[in-house]
Each structure stands twice: as structure tokens, then as C-alpha cells.
Structure 1
Amino acid sequence: MRRWRVAAGQLASTDDVQHNLEQACRLVAEAAEAGARLVVLPEATMVTFAVPVGPHAEPLDGPFAEALREAARRHEITVVAGMFEPADDGRVHNTLLLTGPHAEATYRKVHLFDAYTTTESETVAPGSDYVSVEVDGVRVGLATCFDVRFPDQFTELGRAGVEVVALTASWGDGPGKAQQWDLLTAARAHDSQAWLVAAGQAWRPDSIRKPLGIGRSAVVDPTGAVRARLGGAPDLLVADLDLDLVERTRAQVPIL
């Protein structure tokens, strides 16, 4: 049996990038100490959506990204975390950095959150490509928050051979939002027929007005069954994935 230990780190980003980085590095260390090979941190790990993110954006070789790379190298673990990098048109990219001893990749959020009372596209430029990368012999796909409402992205990742999808989020609260998150994460794991490791920002009272976090980080198996879930508070979720279940599921129900 091929087993792979992963972690989802649930934190509450603030407007202080250095404080957020310290939170992130602490979760990276805790995940590595628990034996995880991959730790997924939330969308907007760098800085909260409660403030304009543009002034905090940094290039991929800036201090925030370099500090995450150093933490990943030091603890010999692969890290996925949400940050913001400057775009060519004056906006920013909502970017996932995947970094570790043997892998490096970036994913720029494709599906922007122009919904409810938020228009992400006013300040964020969309990416154009779905991304997957091999980590420790395991193909990992990347997705961010509102992407979870678009089944085609997860189907394409499954067809690309992805065995684990790292989904990061800063989900809003409100009527039906927790149920939607639970439903969509389960459905997208089923669509990709891959393990889904979903890491969200922790819940806070202001989440009812802005997409600042609802918690509920989860690990979902390739059939859509939830194997573990956190509550609303900052925490670390560690789980062992049976990677052979991906092949078995795809053989039994060949939807891809």
C-alpha cells in the first residue's frame, strides 16, 4: 500500500505579513514534526483580504516566498501557501507557491471571485493554466477557493494523473456557505477521483461580510468521502492518504 502523510494548516491571516509568515512557519514545523510530507496552508496566507492586498504583493523571489522556501528546506517538507504577486497590468495575481526540497511550482488563480458583493477581478488578474507537479513521486494539483465551483478544473487535473489536489481557501460565512463548502469539496474530490486536501482560513466574525475564512479544512478521499475535518479555530489537520485508492476508484468508476 502506498501511504503518504499530509497536513492542512488552518490559520487566521492578519494585515501583518511578518506575523502571518511566523504563523505559517510554525505550522510547517508542526506538520514536519508530525511526519507529513506535504503541508497545505490557506489562500491569502501572506495577508488577509480584510485590507487591500496590492500594497503587500511581492515577487516570487521576495522575502515572503524566500522565507517559505527556507522553512520547507529546513524541515524537509513541501509547502503550499497563498500569496500575492504583482501582475503586469497593475493588479496582483492570487498565487499559490508550492515549494520544497524536490519540487517548485506556482499556480495563479484562474477563476476569480466575482460573486455576492465581491469583485476580485478589479484588483486581481486571472491566471490561465491549471497546474500540477510531482512531489515525492506523487502528482499534486493546485486550486484556490472559488475554483472549487468549477468541476472542469478538477476533472482536468484528474485526467493529468493528479493523485492529490491541494485546495486553499479564504471562504466567506453566511447563509448556506458552510454547506456549500462541504458539498463542493466532496464533489470536486469525486470529479478528480483524487484525494483533496483543503486548507482554509480560520473563521472570524467578519467573515459574514467578507471572504475572510470559515475554517472547516478537510481531507476528502477520491470517492468524495470526508475522512477528516477541522472546526473553525486555527489548527493543524494531519492525515495518512492511501494513494492506491486513487487507482482503484478510477478503475471501478471510470468517469475520467
Structure 2
Amino acid sequence: MDNPRVGILQLEVIRDDAAKNARYVLGQIRDAARAGCDVLVLPELWNVAFPLLGSQVLISEDNPLVGSIANAAFRNETWIIAGSMAISTEAGPRNRCLVFSPDGEVSFRYDKVHLYPGLDEPNILSPGVSPGRFDLGGVPCGILICFDVEFPELARRLSSGGARILFVPGAWKTEFIRFWRALLLSRAIENQVFVVGVNRCDRGRNSFFGGQSLVVDPFGDVILHMDDAPRFQRVVLDLSRVDSARREHRVVSSWRPEVYRRWN
């Protein structure tokens, strides 16, 4: 996959109607494939509304919803980075991103490492412990879920491991949307990678999620900036810009991890 055609689904989650949310997403997978997308990216916890209500929000990976997404990926020959869902596991409840391949399989799982205290996540979910590094049709990529993007160490670990695209499913509230924009730009510039941030745009019981999904290239140029309305858009990522940025602005090649380790 030389220049991935990425579909961004900025989603208005419907409160207390998981079935309607699922039907809408499945329809969008079909539409994204018709639009020529190689991959569709969803926001964080798109199948539930906020606030999270303990075990009521959990599903297992054998839930019919997961199977439906897998079938849609297979039928439409499309990668799906399924934002995240609250998943019940043997290790505890996780805020988990499932990546579905075009053969209809879950090809990768990433559990959010940094749970957000402001929405009570640490009292409901268990944090992950592994970085979200995976291959998307031969393209090395990484996943950060929402609050993870605040921690540059995690993005650096992914990019130093070869990631050329960082996908960031989010649920960022309107009052913090300036942080969302700044953080996505920062992670792209300091790691010289593409950053694809996909936010929700719905109103929770006490929160409004502000949309403004953003795609930033390795030079820090914004190549897609959505407003706060629900919508789908497609963008093509020219991966040659990763190498161009690293030649012209030698940030990555100037990292000195052997020095940084001495400071621990």
C-alpha cells in the first residue's frame, strides 16, 4: 500500500441506541469502500455514550457487533481501524482498538495505556501495557487512543519502531479542543510522521465532543481539518513525504537515545 486512501468518520454517537450506532457505522464502511478507501478510521468508544456506566458498556469480542464489522471488512475488502470499544477481557475491562483486515480477521488489538481521569475511566477500565505498533498492508503504523496523545514518550516509541502513520481515535470535549489540535500537530512534527486524529461530535449527558478531526503530514501541514459536524471525508497520504521531511529537517536522525538513557 504505497499511498493509503484513508476514510475519516467523524461520528455523532446516539445515546442509548447502540444498535442504531452500529447500523450507521456498517453503512459507512460500505460507503467508504465505494469511495475508494483502503482504510476507514472511527473515533473512540463510538458504540457508547458518556458518562461510562460501569459494566453496562462492556462487550466481548464474540459480540455480534464485532462479527458484523469483521464481515463488513471482508465484504468491502477494506481495513477498519475501529476506533475503540469498551471490551471485556480475561485481564479486565479495556478501552480497546480492534484493527480489522480485508480478510475479515482482527489483525491487531491495542489497549489504551493512559486512562483519562476526567471521564472516570480508571475506575471502570484497566489500562493496557503494550505499544500499539502494527502493519497496515505493509505500512508500519501506530495507534494512540485519545488521552494517549498527551504523552510524547508513547508516540516516540511508535515512530522509533518504524511507524509512518499514527492513528488517534479520540473523544475530546469542546472545551479542550485546542489541546487536541496542538497535540496532533506536535506529535506529527516531532516524529515526522502522518497523524490521523478522528474525534466524536456528539453531546453526552454532561459533555459535548467537539469534532475537528485532523490529518497532519510529517512537515506539520494540516491536510484535512473538519468542523464540528458529523461527516465522512477521504484523504490520500503520500508516504514519500515522510522521507522528504526527514531529509529536509533532520529531527528524527538527530535523536540521541543513548544520551537520554543516561538521565534515567
Instruction: Tell me the TM-score normalised to structure 1 length.
Output: 0.90
Cα–Cα, structure 1 residues 33 and 53, in superposed 2: closer, same or farther, change >3 Å? Answer: farther
How many Å apart are 1:144 and its aligned residue? 0.6
Is 2:40 the partner of 1:39?
Answer: yes
How many Å apart are 1:191 and its aligned residue? 2.8
How many Å apart are 1:181 and its aligned residue? 1.2
Per the alignment, residue 116 of structure 2 pairs with 113
Q: Distance in 2 between matches of 1:50 and 1:245?
A: 40
Per the alignment, residue 191 of structure 1 pairs with 190
Per the alignment, residue 231 of structure 1 pairs with 227
Per the alignment, residue 217 of structure 1 pairs with 213
Per the alignment, residue 243 of structure 1 pairs with 239
Per the alignment, residue 7 of structure 2 pairs with 7
Q: Distance in 1 between matches of 2:25 and 2:51?
A: 18
The question of whether the paired residues in 1 share the 8 Å contact of 2:7 and 2:32 is answered with yes
Q: Distance in 1 between matches of 2:166 and 2:71?
A: 23
2:87 aligned residue (67, 85, 88): 85
Per the alignment, residue 170 of structure 2 pairs with 169
Amino acid at match of 1:167: V
The question of whether the paired residues in 2 share the 8 Å contact of 1:218 and 1:228 is answered with yes
The question of whether the paired residues in 1 share the 8 Å contact of 2:141 and 2:167 is answered with yes
Cα–Cα, structure 1 residues 217 and 34, in superposed 2: closer, same or farther, change >3 Å? Answer: same
Once the two structures are superposed, residues 196-243 of structure 1 have per-residue CA deviations (whole angstroms, 9 ceiling, x without a partner) of 111111143x48x33x52111111111222111111111012101100
Q: Identity of paired residues, percent? A: 29
The question of whether the paired residues in 2 share the 8 Å contact of 1:13 and 1:44 is answered with no
Q: Distance in 1 between matches of 2:63 and 2:230?
A: 26
SS at match of 2:197: strand
5+ residue gaps, structure 2: 253-264
Q: Distance in 2 between matches of 1:106 and 1:61?
A: 14
Cα–Cα, structure 1 residues 73 and 53, in superposed 2: closer, same or farther, change >3 Å? Answer: farther
The question of whether the paired residues in 1 share the 8 Å contact of 2:191 and 2:251 is answered with no
SS at match of 2:48: coil
SS at match of 2:174: coil
SS at match of 1:216: coil
Once the two structures are superposed, residues 164-201 of structure 1 have per-residue CA deviations (whole angstroms, 9 ceiling, x without a partner) of 11110111122xx2211111111112233211111111
Q: Distance in 2 between matches of 1:182 and 1:39?
A: 21
The question of whether the paired residues in 1 share the 8 Å contact of 2:13 and 2:202 is answered with no
Amino acid at match of 1:253: H
Q: Distance in 1 between matches of 2:41 and 2:190?
A: 20
Once the two structures are superposed, residues 85-142 of structure 1 have per-residue CA deviations (whole angstroms, 9 ceiling, x without a partner) of 11447x5211111102257101100011124xx3310001000011221122211211
Once the two structures are superposed, residues 22-58 of structure 1 have per-residue CA deviations (whole angstroms, 9 ceiling, x without a partner) of 1211221121111110110010112122341522312
Instruction: Tell me the TM-score normalised to structure 2 length.
Output: 0.87
Amino acid at match of 1:132: R
Amino acid at match of 1:192: N
How many Å apart are 1:61 and its aligned residue? 2.6
SS at match of 1:223: coil
Cα–Cα, structure 1 residues 50 and 238, in superposed 2: closer, same or farther, change >3 Å? Answer: same
Q: Distance in 2 between matches of 1:53 and 1:231?
A: 31
SS at match of 1:22: helix
| Rg larger for | 2
5+ residue gaps, structure 1: none
Q: Distance in 1 between matches of 2:234 and 2:54?
A: 30
For these two proteins, the number of residue pairs brought into alignment is 248
Amino acid at match of 1:40: V
